[in-house]
């Protein structure tokens, strides 16, 4: 464990570029690995989670290499031709790798075992096991539907129409990926829209996909026994990584920061809307498309924030950004109320209790409810910070570590976190960019 004290650094200025989108990077490697022929990926996030996906795709037969200029070259095996891995697939901390790859192997004639770290081994896998069993795959899971999980794929699998019981892009994607090698048409009904990178990118790789609507719900249909064509993918910057800098520049007086190349897919950009509703000064420059996704450069200037009631309907579009939103709320004027956030309890950590404890330790006034946090802000006054000898427990959760780093910027005595190592799962350049923006 690498403990670290995040101290106030002064205003954040200049221009930074956050690394590639994690969700899109996982999908780029998986779909390129399923295409027949050579794909090239630029801007891939080289964080531990994505590297776990790359290693797993290699074990399943794809040939993946990184060139000196940072381009990733993938020679795919073709849908239906994945190989049985010789050893257990180690997913590390990555829920996305695990759930999407379970979908992929569920319709192939092979057996695979998935293992992960202590955090991932506590997370629920039954939500993907249920639909994939309906498609014919069989599973041996550990108690409570957790890792390690052994999957015996079905060949041929059976197409299903599956209504998502929980708003989850991972479950949606697992079913659609299983559908790629399933005869007929596999459908997912999505009552609450979640990130749509799978749909966008699969269409780019040449899968036959139909998007419709039924009684107000989105319906996504994928035609099976697909032939994916290789393509060149450009991965835009990750809005979930930019989020830490959006909040940091908003709360630290004197800040004026440009964050370049930020993905602004509407299924991901909820935090920008919520911060603006709190009074943040965020301006989009040079809106454009990168890799089939909307992107812009964001200029964020310090502004006084006010507490608000966050509409639970926006939660799926900012599901990974709540930890850092809670930090913004802790520095805002007045009270911020969030609800409808039960899903946060099954992320890399229980993000409601972990953030309530972390912010409480740093001197913020936080009430934990069953489905959200209520936070009484300081009105822009710095938080006291963690006292001598106390440290925030990050619980193997990268987003807790980075959120509390941002809290440290607006604290009197700094915020000590117990472990910064998890930051490498999603944002290996975080510490360097923070130092750079503070020095500019």
Per CB under 6 A, residues contacting ligand S3P are 23, 96, 168-170, 173, 195, 319-320, 343
Closest contact distance (angstroms) between CB of 389 and ligand S3P is 33
Residue with tokens 């221009």: 15
320 part of the active site:
yes
Question: What does the block give as tokens for 82?
Answer: 């994945």
Closest contact distance (angstroms) between CB of 164 and ligand S3P is 9
DSSP string, 143-187: TTTEEEEEEE--SS----EEE-SS--HHHHHHHHHHHHTSSSEEE
Specify the residue, 187 or 351, whose C-beta has the smaller distance to ligand S3P: 351
Closest contact distance (angstroms) between CB of 92 and ligand S3P is 14
Specify the residue, 127 or 187, whose C-beta has the smaller distance to ligand S3P: 127
Specify the residue, 32 or 331, whose C-beta has the smaller distance to ligand S3P: 32
Residues with Cβ within 8 Å of residue 127, at least 6 apart in sequence: 99, 165, 166, 168, 170, 171
Closest contact distance (angstroms) between CB of 403 and ligand S3P is 14
Question: Measured in Å, how far apart are the chain's first and last C-alpha atoms?
Answer: 30
Question: What does the block give as tokens for 176?
Answer: 């659609």
Strands 161-163 and 185-190, how do they pair?
parallel
**Per the residue annotation, which of 49, 297, 320, 419 is the catalytic one?**
320
- Taking 3-state DSSP, the helix, strand and coil percentages for the chain, each rounded to the nearest 5, stand at 35, 25, 40
Question: What does the block give as tokens for 400?
Answer: 């807790």
Closest contact distance (angstroms) between CB of 54 and ligand S3P is 15
Q: Decide: 244 and 402 in contact? Cβ < 8 Å.
A: yes
| Residues belonging to the active site | 320
């Amino acid at each position: 464990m690498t403990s670290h004290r995040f101290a106030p650094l002064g205003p954040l200025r200049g221009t930074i570029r956050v690394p590639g989108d994690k969700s899109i990077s996982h999908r780029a490697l998986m779909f390129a690995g399923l295409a027949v022929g050579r794909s090239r990926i630029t801007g891939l996030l080289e964080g531990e989670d994505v590297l776990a996906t790359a290693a797993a795709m290699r074990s399943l037969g794809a040939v993946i290499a990184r060139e000196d200029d940072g381009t990733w070259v993938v020679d795919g095996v073709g849908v239906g031709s994945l190989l049985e891995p010789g050893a257990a697939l180690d997913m590390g901390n990555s829920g996305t790798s695990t759930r999407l790859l379970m979908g992929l192997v569920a319709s192939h004639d092979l057996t695979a075992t998935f293992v992960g770290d202590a955090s991932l081994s506590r997370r629920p896998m039954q939500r993907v096991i249920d639909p994939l069993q309906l498609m014919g795959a069989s599973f041996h899971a550990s108690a409570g539907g957790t890792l390690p999980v052994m999957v015996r794929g079905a060949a041929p699998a059976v197409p299903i129409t599956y209504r998502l019981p929980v708003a989850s892009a991972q479950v949606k994607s697992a079913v659609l990926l299983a559908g790629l090698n399933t005869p007929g048409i596999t459908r997912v009904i999505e009552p609450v829209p979640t990130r749509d990178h799978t749909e966008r990118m699969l269409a780019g790789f040449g899968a036959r996909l139909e998007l419709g609507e039924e009684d107000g719900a989105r319906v996504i249909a994928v035609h099976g026994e697909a032939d994916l064509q290789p393509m060149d993918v450009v991965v835009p910057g990750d809005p979930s990584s930019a989020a830490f800098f959006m909040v940091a520049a908003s709360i630290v007086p004197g800040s004026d920061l440009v964050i370049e190349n930020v993905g602004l897919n509407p299924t991901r950009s909820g935090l920008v809307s919520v911060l603006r509703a709190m009074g943040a000064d965020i301006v989009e420059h040079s809106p454009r498309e990168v890799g089939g996704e909307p992107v812009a450069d964001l200029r964020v200037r310090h502004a006084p924030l006010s507490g608000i009631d966050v509409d639970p309907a926006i939660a799926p579009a900012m599901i990974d950004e709540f930890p850092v939103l809670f930090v913004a709320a802790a520095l805002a004027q007045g009270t911020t109320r969030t609800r409808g956030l039960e899903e946060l309890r099954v992320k890399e950590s229980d993000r409601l209790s972990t953030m309530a404890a972390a912010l409480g330790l740093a001197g913020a006034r936080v009430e934990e409810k069953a489905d959200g946090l209520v936070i009484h802000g300081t009105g822009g006054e710095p938080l006291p910070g963690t006292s001598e000898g106390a440290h925030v427990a990050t619980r193997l959760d990268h987003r807790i570590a980075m959120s509390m780093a941002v809290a440290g910027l607006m604290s009197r005595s700094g915020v000590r976190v117990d472990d910064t190592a998890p930051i490498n799962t999603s944002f290996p350049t975080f510490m360097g960019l923070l130092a750079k923006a503070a020095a500019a």
